[in-house]
Chains A and B, each alone.
Chain A
Amino acid sequence: MNLDLITSTFIIGVLAASLRLATPILLAALGEMFVERAGILNLGIEGTMLIGALSGFLGAYWTGNLWAGVLAGMLAGILFGLLMGFMSITVKANQVVAGLGITILGGGLSTLLFRLAFGLRTTPPTLDIFPTLPIPLLSRIPWIGPILFEHNVLVYLALALVPVASLVLYRTHFGLKVRAVGESPDAADTRGIRVELIRYLCLMIGGAMAGIGGSYLVLGSLGLFWTQMTAGRGFIAVAVVVFSKWDPARALLGAWVFGLASAVQISLQTLSVPIPSEILLMLPYIITVIVLVGVSRRAEFPGAFAVPYYRGGKE
């Protein structure tokens, strides 16, 4: 064991990394929360993040503007959200199958489009990522500063969207309609709420957020696109939504717990703790499972969760 490597720099580094690792998951989870609140299960988040990552890369690479990349990732995510909407709302297909189909589509399509755009290369195309943006004054607070206030703009954006999501969900007409549609589409429909429209809008929000989450990996972390680079983060986001009981503030906690578990796992390997790496690598997932099992007893899924809506009941 190399416990003498533990310095303040090391600990600060681990905690700062936990936020970076949580960011793409948080972004996707905040969007998926609206989708599930409206009564739809979208397992296509993983694929949506991948297409978001690719579009984010292409948008930024071709225009030379990182924000154009974020916008492109968002738009591609919205398109994938609409596709999920077509399958789950219009055609009323099984949502699990439709979502997994979108995930496979996103993986294949992003790889194919990347190859079509760049061909076979001897070195991968890269771009400069969003620079670290230390927040004046706050970043100079010992410990807290470098952990919380020395990140790039997308990390702050993800954190800022948590209260925004809360506000929209609990304090606006739209949020009320979303919750009504997810709990009891029949009742919502009789009150004149357009169930299908609200669900489509939520899928667009979910797709946009997953798209930004995917583009974070490219524009806020690596500066390049890689096949299957999301590596399961989309599915973790879906789990985080359940853990959060569909509440944005708790989603922040859930995403951060996973980010922290990942960062701790990485540092335990660096410190050469006498545990095989294969076991350490499972740690974040095991913690997520344990937390989910604990929460699941009291989790109350939206009343119409994963049930397609038929006006006047299914004949």
Chain B
Amino acid sequence: MFYLMPDKEKQRTARVDWRKRFPELAKKANSPALKRYYQAGIVANDTPIKEVPLVAVDFETTGMDPNQHGIISVAIVPMTLARIELNGAQQWIVKPRRTLTEESITIHGITHSAIAAAPDFEQLIAPLLDAVAGKVWVVHYQGIERPFLQRALQDRINETIHFPIIDTMEIEARFYRKPPSLWDKLTGKKPASIRLADSRQRYNLPFYAPHDAMTDAIASAELLQAQVAHHFNPDTPLSELLVNTL
């Protein structure tokens, strides 16, 4: 599909050359897991999306602020544009260092006992980074996974992490969150919701019960496939889909 990108969004596309950046980051990394992760490398920004190894990731957390809240569950699902592969999917429950509120228990359906028995995120660093190595992250709303991961690493190995990411919410915003016109403002027209469940509905994707890390990861993975099918094409370069934050 032919897609004219507004100037503003053009600026937002990735300007970081991740393929060059990863070896540099590998040199700086101290933790062996992090070093391995960077050494695995990453595809060039101009790689057609159909050839990009991807991984859909979802964290369930005790809240929205990485400085106050912690990760309680992590799910990853490897995928490509053509297929989401559940047999490579993994899910972990971890014990957050920050307190767990009753409210977040109700939302995520993970019990105190399951969390009490769960390991610290530190145990997860190596398996998680190995599992996502060489793959581009796909999340719905980048304000969670990357900041929480960065904070968790900071706390445990005193290092940070940088990697390219596709945010299906940001993509959705490009198409359904145009700045409201005067007319919209006058008539009080509400902007379209770009929440995961609402976005999925636009593409005739089935309703999945939210707030389970695995289900949400799969839901975002499917949403990306649908977005590319409708707004892009398999040859669209990766850079057009990436968000431009470090």
A binds B: no
